[in-house]
Structure 1
């Protein structure tokens, strides 16, 4: 295993795609056009992007045993060179899937809710977890670990760095979010999540408050409006690359994992933001959650060919 391998912890599922010309109102009935199903999941998308850059990525999740989707998921990870040696199996849990309805370049996502037992770290999985320099996950996925507070505290005490992707439904209150942020080094929030987190406070005050809880870096993604990068020493905005978007599914996952890749490679914050913005822009020009998977050279070529 390479020195800078990363553990990706999160639910992976089948994404069912449908195209609609008009979004219905409550009570309406509309026909939709089914498209090809893909393997998705926020963390799985990010893991595949990181593996595309040549990073060693170990995936950690709990999958239903002997389910058709499980075989599809394992094959998909193999195709993207993501290690499945930490994945666990349970015969009693149901399959998770997403239903993604596309209208032009935007989409609405429905995710089936499946109750599962905690993920236990034992044997080889435990060794790999605690020796990984980086852990990428979401706030809800971190809480899927058995004895999660103790495990995360032990991981961080051993020098591990946690990066989290935060959406608005990832937390109910700032107090709840801050509890988990205390374990994190890098926090990626979309605009909706940051608006919820800051509440009535000024954005800069909310960012400072978050960084005081422990993270070294906060990145707020704003879709076509670019991103804001905030650390204790730097604050700047980065414009997005202007492209014709076809499907924004997975764009945030591509941005976050590409930014993290840049940090792991020793990029400056400005360079990491440029690289991540280009990777995300390139990803939205095609349909599917894995369109962000590319070699680093492909992203650099995109940067040279497109002007902000």
Structure 2
């Protein structure tokens, strides 16, 4: 039975929201030096919140549940998400600070260095509203707010909401998130912790822990999709890279947006890879997120065999 009602969301996220200050440089930052900034931008950041921004721009109805500071940056985080169409449910404690991240981006390669500001804190477990999670099709959680993610994922499993986990670090909490998830998406540096450099084998090992699907993202080298006991390697879409910030986060949101349109896992992976590549053409984790129409044009131009009709679109 469909969960759709007036309180329904396609996707609810419980995870980190931050504010990014991005500096594009021609050389790495160092002490006692005057460096020229070639470009500056500031915008919302954080893995789950950026994933929701991507999914929303691609047509999903989304909601973020998280904790931000009672400060100017918290206001900007909220406003930026709402500009992307993401509804926000925020816990804000008087006198608290939001997570601010300074990002140095190499002008030549798009590689980044992150300087974390105020340490982010988890929302109080008893505060987390559960009805939006129960009434959503998908829940996206990340390992930055693992306690909140685990609690939300346990609620989702009880209500048959599908759980997608963004696992960015190994550990006991991440292990629990993997067990609770239907889909696990993680970078190769984390996947390699399980079985060395054989990412296909690592994906299958993770698949045995409970998920239906595992995707290992590899940046410009593409990704590995594991499902139904087999693996498929997918190449990335080459673009002129400005900044790789948010590439994985946008991949997560676009992957879910693809599932919501009725795409199978392989097609959703291609859809997400295209969105991630397009986002790398601009400075910041959200500046380059495409619309659905822009993404379809991009995919058809670069991969003539990609045909949106094969996906059997639903929920238009």
State the 1:117 CA deviation: 5.4
Deviations 1:29-85 (A, max 9, x none): 4535271322211211111111111211111111222x111221221122111102x
Does the CA contact (< 8 Å) of 1:254 and 1:292 recur in 2?
no
1:217 aligns with 2:216: no
TM-score by length of 2: 0.85
1:182 aligns with 2:179: yes
TM-score by length of 1: 0.87
Does the CA contact (< 8 Å) of 2:99 and 2:120 recur in 1?
no
Extract unaligned runs of 5+ from structure 1. none
Deviations 1:234-263 (A, max 9, x none): 421111111111111111111121112112
Partner of 2:76: 72
Does the CA contact (< 8 Å) of 1:49 and 1:254 recur in 2?
yes
State the 1:197 CA deviation: 2.9
- 1 CA distance for matches of 2:288 and 2:264? 21
State the secondary structure of the residue aligned to 1:144.
helix
Given the alignment, which residue of 93, 103, 125 partners 1:100? 103
User: How many correspondences in the alignment?
Assistant: 296
Given the alignment, which residue of 267, 274, 277 partners 1:271? 267
Partner of 1:57: 62
State the 1:99 CA deviation: 0.6
- Single out whichever of 156-165 and 290-299 deviates more from structure 2: 290-299
Partner of 2:190: 193
Given the alignment, which residue of 144, 166, 169 partners 1:140? 144
Does the CA contact (< 8 Å) of 1:93 and 1:116 recur in 2?
no
Partner of 1:31: 35
Does the CA contact (< 8 Å) of 1:251 and 1:292 recur in 2?
no
Does the CA contact (< 8 Å) of 2:186 and 2:215 recur in 1?
yes
Deviations 1:96-128 (A, max 9, x none): 1011001122211122252535433559x3221
Q: CA RMSD in A?
A: 2.4
Extract unaligned runs of 5+ from structure 2. 1-5, 305-316
1:20 aligns with 2:25: yes
- 1 CA distance for matches of 2:154 and 2:173? 16
State the secondary structure of the residue aligned to 2:82.
helix
